Structure 1
C-alpha cells in the first residue's frame, strides 16, 4: 500500500514573488512545508535566476493547474547584446561575441518577426525531454544533440528601455511553452550581434500578478500560522478563464459522484468547457451538453 503523505488537506493558491537563486521546485517545497500542506504543485517553471510570479497550487487547486499553464503570461527581461552563451543566459559560458551594436530602430524592426505564431527552438539547457532524458542533463554531459522547433504564440513583444548600447529591456506576452532565453538568443542572431538574457522577471501569469505575490521571507516568517493561510486565494481563481455555470443541490451531488449534473444555462454553447459552482464553490469542470455538465475533473473539498 502506498504511504500516505502527511499534512493538511488545504486547497487554494499562494502567489509567490519568487526570488533569484532558487528553483521553482524548491519554492514549492518551502510553501508546502510552511502551510503544512499534503499536496502542492506550480503552474509554470521559472529558471533559478528568474524572479516574479510563481503560482503555487495546493490540494484540490492542483486540478486547475492546466488552465493557468495554458493562459497567457507576461515577462520583462533584459538582453545583453554582443555575447551568446551556451545556456542563453548570464550563467553560461560565452561562446561567441560581436562588436556590432544595433540601433533602437533596428531592434524595434527586428521584434516584429517574433510576434504572432512563431517557431522556437528551446535552449539546449532546458527541461525538454529527448528520448526520456532532460536536455539540460545531456547538455551538461557534453552530448551533441538537436532540439526540434516548436510553435509559440507571442501576443506582444516591445522594447521598453535601452540603458546603454550593450543592453535592451523588452516586455513580452506569450502563450504556453515559451522560452525567453530563446527569444534573446534568436533576436541576437537576427540582429547579427549575438545576445543572451541578463535579467528575467515574470510579471503576471493568467489571473496572478507579481505585485500581489508574497515574498519567500514572509512565507518563512509566517510559516505554520493562520496569518499565512490568510494569503491563500481560493482554488476557483485558477478557473478564471473558464465560464462558470451554477448548479442545483441535486446537480452538485451528481457531479461530485462523477456523473453528469444539471446546471443553470449561461453564456456557453453545447460542447463548451465550463465549471460548475454550488453556493459559490467549484464542484467540477467538464463539458456542457443539453443542460448538463459532463465532468472531467471533480473537486473534493470540505
Structure 2
C-alpha cells in the first residue's frame, strides 16, 4: 500500500508581528501561530527569551526567505535592572550567585552609559544559544560546567536611563544591533557599578522595519482564529466539514499579516512589468528601465504591481534574480 503523503498547510505568506507574552518560548510561539494559520511553513526572526515579552516577528510561507533581513535590523528593548544580585542566567530565572549591599546613584549610572554605547565587546550569557565546539552554551551550563565564551563585538546605537523608581532598580531603553544580549548588559553594568545586577523585566519594543502598531496579541490572534473554526452540521462520522473557501474562512487571520516585502525596506526596489516578472520567476535576468532605477546594487528586490517578485542584484542596469517568489 502506498504511503499517504503528509498533509501540507495553507500557502499563506507574510509577517505576523507577534506580541509574545512572558512565559512563552520563541519556538512555542512559532508552532502556535503556524497551527492557528494552518500555514505550510513558519519561522521567527530572532529568539526572544521566555521571560521576555514583546515583538517577535514570525515569517509565514515565502516570507521565511526574507528572515535574514529582519534578523539584521536594529532592535529596541525596554528593560529593568535589579541591583544587588548576580544570577546564573543574568535574569530572574537563574539562582543567585553573588550579592551586594551597595546601590548605585543615578549619577553613577548616567556616568557609565557612554561606556556601553557604540561598538563594544560583550561576552554572551552562560545560558545562551551561542555554540561552543558544536554545543549550545546553555546545554553545557545546565550540566554545571562553566562555559568559556569569547567576547564579540556588538553595536549599541543608544542606551537611555528612563527611570530610577527606587534604589534597587533602574529602567532603561536600548537600541542595538544583531547579537546584543541585554542580559549581558545588566551583568556587566552591575559589575562596573560594584553592586551586581540582573534583568528583572525585559520587553522588545521594535524590530526594524516593524513598529509597535504592527503588534498582534495572542488574544487578537485567538479571536480571529475562532472565525476559522469549522462551521456547519456534523456528518455521520461526527466531523464538521467546512465548505467555505479558505480565503473566506481565514480572512480575519490573514488580515493581521504584514506583506512579505515589508522586510526588504532596507533594499532598493525595482519595479518591473508583468512580462519581466514572469521571466524573473523563471530565473532569467531582465533589463530594468526608469529614471530612478539603480544601475548597480549588490542587493535589490523586484516588484510587479506592488507584489514581490524576487530578491537579486543589479549589474550594469540588469536585474539578476537570486531568490524568487511565487506571489501567492
- TM, length-normalised to structure 2: 0.88
Does the 8 Å contact 1:81/1:195 carry over to 2? yes
Comparing 47-56 and 136-145, the one that deviates more: 136-145
Does the 8 Å contact 1:250/1:261 carry over to 2? no
Match of 2:244 in 1: none
Q: Say whether 1:244 aligns with 2:281.
A: no
Counterpart Cα distance in 2 of 1:247 and 1:10: 24
Residue deviations 1:173-192, cap 9 Å, x none? Answer: 00111111001111111111
SS in 1 for 2:175: strand
Q: CA deviation at 1:217?
A: 2.2
Counterpart Cα distance in 1 of 2:4 and 2:212: 37
Match of 1:123 in 2: 125
RMSD (Å), alpha carbons: 1.6
Does the 8 Å contact 1:16/1:210 carry over to 2? no
Q: Is the radius of gyration larger for structure 1 or structure 2?
A: 2
Highest relative contact order (Cα 8 Å, sep 6+), 1 or 2?
Answer: 1
Counterpart Cα distance in 2 of 1:289 and 1:261: 10
Match of 1:230 in 2: 255
Residue deviations 1:158-199, cap 9 Å, x none? Answer: 100001001000000001111110011111111111110000
Matches within 5 A, 1:138-149: 138-149=140-151
Residue deviations 1:265-301, cap 9 Å, x none? Answer: 5364524311111111111111111111122211122
Match of 2:327 in 1: 301
Match of 1:80 in 2: 82
SS in 2 for 1:250: helix
- TM, length-normalised to structure 1: 0.96
Q: 1:263 pairs with 261, 280, 288, which one?
A: 288
Match of 1:276 in 2: 302
Q: 2:101 pairs with 73, 94, 99, which one?
A: 99
SS in 2 for 1:208: coil
Does the 8 Å contact 2:80/2:171 carry over to 1? yes
Match of 2:245 in 1: none
Closer/same/farther in 2, CA of residues 237 and 134 from structure 1, 3 Å limit: same
Residue deviations 1:42-72, cap 9 Å, x none? Answer: 1111000100101111001111111110010
Q: CA deviation at 1:212?
A: 3.0
Does the 8 Å contact 2:19/2:54 carry over to 1? yes
Name stretches of at least 5 consecutive residues in structure 1 with no aligned partner: none
Match of 1:135 in 2: 137
Comparing 285-294 and 161-170, the one that deviates more: 285-294
Comparing 173-182 and 237-246, the one that deviates more: 237-246
Comparing 276-285 and 252-261, the one that deviates more: 252-261
Counterpart Cα distance in 2 of 1:285 and 1:20: 35
Closer/same/farther in 2, CA of residues 33 and 263 from structure 1, 3 Å limit: same
Does the 8 Å contact 2:126/2:146 carry over to 1? no
Q: How many residues align?
A: 302
Closer/same/farther in 2, CA of residues 82 and 3 from structure 1, 3 Å limit: farther
Match of 1:174 in 2: 176
Closer/same/farther in 2, CA of residues 5 and 46 from structure 1, 3 Å limit: farther
Closer/same/farther in 2, CA of residues 142 and 30 from structure 1, 3 Å limit: same
Counterpart Cα distance in 2 of 1:194 and 1:103: 14
